Amino acid sequence: MPHVIIVYDLHGAASTAYGKLDTELKNQNYTKISEDTTWEGIYKDDVTPEGAVRTTKSEFAAAAQAAGVSKYDLKIYCATKMLTDSLSKA
């Protein structure tokens, strides 16, 4: 079951573009996992990691276009098993 993490940056985009892109990603069943631009997607068992990355890239491009965003940086991290840990220090 591939898990993807998406991290993106929009170049010169208005703050409203971030909101529009967030809405588009939610509509494609990605889950926001931080207050900034980090999202998670989980694919079914029959999807390969390569297929998950290709699909994520395509879906992000479509979401960006729908949000009116033409310039962005996108990083996609993929693992077949999501291992998580967290640490907070105040």
Integer Cα distance of 24 and 67 in angstroms = 7
Q: Residue 22 sits in which domain range?
A: 3-31+41-79
Structural contact between residues 82 and 31, judged by C-beta atoms closer than 8 angstroms = no
Q: Is 46 contained in some domain? A: yes
How many domains does the chain divide into? 1
Inside any domain, residue 68: yes
> Does 36 reside within a domain?
no
In a domain, 89, yes or no: no
Higher pLDDT: 90 or 79? It is: 79
Question: Is 67 in a helix, a strand, or coil?
Answer: coil
Tell me how crowded residue 52 is: count the other CB atoms within 10 A of its CB.
Answer: 22
Residue 15 within a domain: yes
pTM of structure: 0.84
Query: What ranges make up the beta strands (E) of 11-82?
Result: 31-32, 38-42, 72-79
Higher pLDDT, 90 or 19: 19
